[in-house]
Amino acid sequence: MPTASSGCRSARRLGAGAVIEFCGLRLAHPIINGSGTFDAIAARRAFGDALLADFPFSAFVSKTITLQARTGNPPPRLWEAQAGMINSIGLPNRGLDGYLEHDLPQLAQLPVPLVTNVMGSTEDEVARLVEAVDARAEVAAIELNVSCPNVKTGLDIGADPVSLAALVRAVRPLTRKPLIVKLTPNTADVAAVAQAAESEGADAVSLINTLRAMALDRRRGGLWLGGGTGGLSGPAVRSVALAQVAAVARRVAIAVVGMGGVAHGGHANDLISVGARLVAIGTENFRDPCAGTRIASELKSLQIERSPSTTMNESEPRPEVDVNCADS
Partner 1 sequence: MRPIAPLGRRRGAVTRVEEVGAYRVLHVADARGPLPAAGQFYMLATVRGWGAGEDERPYLPRAFSFLSADAGTLRFMLEDVGPGTHRLAGLQTGEELWLTGPLGEGFRPPHDGRQALLTGGGVGVPPLAAWARQLGDRPLALLGFRDRVHAAGARMLDAAQVRVATDDGSVGHHGLVTELLAAQLARDRHAVVYACGPPPMLEAVRALCSEHDVPAQLALEAGMACGFGACYGCVVPVRDGGYVRICVDGPVLDADRLERVP
- Exactly one of 29, 32, 35, 38 binds partner 1 (CB under 8 A); that residue is 38
Residue from the set 83, 108, 151, 155 that interacts with partner 1 by CB under 8 A = 83
Count of all residues that appear for the chain in the document: 328
Q: Does residue number 39 form part of the binding site for partner 1 (CB under 8 A)? A: yes
Buried b (16+ CB within 10 A) or exposed e, 47-81: eeeebeebbbbbbbbbbbbbbeebeebeeebbbeb
Indicate which single residue of 1, 16, 17, 45 sits in contact with partner 1 (rule: CB under 8 A): 45
Residue 309 near residue 236, CB atoms below 8 Å = no
Which of positions 260-289 make contact with partner 1 (CB under 8 A)?
283, 285-289
Cβ proximity to partner 1: between 47 and 303 the closer is 47
Pick from 148, 112, 118: which is nearest to 133 by CA? Answer: 118
Instruction: Rule CB under 8 A: say whether 43 interacts with partner 1.
Output: yes
Using DSSP's 3-state secondary structure scheme, residue 140 falls into: strand
Q: In what order do the strands lie in the sheet with 230-233?
A: 78-81, 84-87, 230-233, 211-213
Angle subtended by helix axes 161-171 and 190-199, to nearest 10: 30
Among 1, 16, 17, 46, binds partner 1 (CB under 8 A): 46
Check if 23 is active-site.
Answer: no
CB nearer to partner 1: give 191 or 296. 296
Applying CB under 8 A, among 3, 35, 37, 58 the residue interacting with partner 1 is 37
CA distance 310 to 158: 30
Contacts with partner 1, residue ranges (CB under 8 A)? 5-8, 36-39, 41-43, 45-48, 50-51, 54, 71-72, 74-78, 80-85, 87, 89, 92, 234-235, 283, 285-290, 293, 327-328
Active site members: 148
